[in-house]
Amino acid sequence: WGYFDHPPMVAAAIALGYSLIAGELGVRLVFIAMELGAIILMWRMTNRRDALLFWAIVLSLPLLQVGGTLALPDMPLIFFATLFLLALLAYAVFAIGPIEELAKMLPFLIVVLRFKAFDEPLDGIVYASFIALGYAAVENYFYLEFLTALESVARGFAGPVIHILFASIWAHLVTRAYLARKSWWGPALLGFVLAALLHGLYDFMVLLEPVTALPMAAAMIAGIWIWRLRLMHRLRKDAVRQSGRN
């Protein structure tokens, strides 16, 4: 069922609307609701703060202005595509990021903090980096059968770097509190949330795959990489200065 040049979603939407309100309004009722829903979802995805970006998106899609009055497949497509992006963002931020960072963080908290040699501020980043390398190796192994040769090479280079950078965030905060003989639970939670959030945002941008998303992800990684290098340089200088005093 459906129409010769329209997919079944059009017929289903018309049937649903017409069953609620018989007449012209019923024919277009579901499409009007999808138009409104798509605009609301876009508003939420722009964090409801960047009004300029929101109106730029809405006004750049003329179909959003007439979609609610025409029973066409374009409006369901826009609505469900927007819903998919919102669901993908939630999945990346609340599932992928937390799960992967927790898998790296637990060995650090349970095992590494018990090492007698764990006595310098730089140790946390070093140990966390090796944990991240091990995690990336296992992860890449299970991904190999789903990737092409080029994708495998790209992931082989990017995966370890990504995991090292995100792990460095919580490792530094935990190490600083631990060596200062302070409670590290708060810094651990803060570092975990921050690393998981950045990790999820990175995965979201990579999963999108448009040309405009990948440079944004690369810029994020470059920023964290520069922060890590500067941090390690400072910690090393502090360690050398401290050893000179002793």
Give residue 15's pLDDT band: very low, low, confident or very high (50, 70, 90).
confident
Predicted confidence (pLDDT) per residue in 188-198, tens digit? 999 999 999 99
- The full DSSP string for 144-177 is GGGS-HHHHHHHHHHHHHHHHHHHHHHHHHHHHH
Phi and psi for 135 in degrees, rounded to 5? -65, -45
Between CA 135 and CA 25 the distance in angstroms is 56
Is it the case that residue 154 has pLDDT exceeding 70? yes
Tokens 């750049």 correspond to what residue?
60
**pLDDT of res. 1:** 43
Instruction: Give 23's pLDDT tier (boundaries 50, 70, 90).
Output: confident
Would you tell me how many other CB atoms lie within 10 Å of the CB of residue 242? 11
Can you tell me the distance from the alpha carbon of 89 to that of 116, in angstroms, rounded to the nearest whole number?
Answer: 41
Q: Is 42 exposed, middle or buried (0-12, 13-18, 19+ CB in 10 A)?
A: buried
**Residue whose C-alpha is closest to residue 132's, from 171, 95, 98, 176:** 171
Contact 227, 165 (CB under 8 A): no
Q: In Å, how far from its chain's centre is CA 38? A: 21
CB 68 within 8 A of CB 36: yes
pTM: 0.74
164 pLDDT above the threshold of 60: yes
**Over the chain, what is the mean pLDDT?**
85
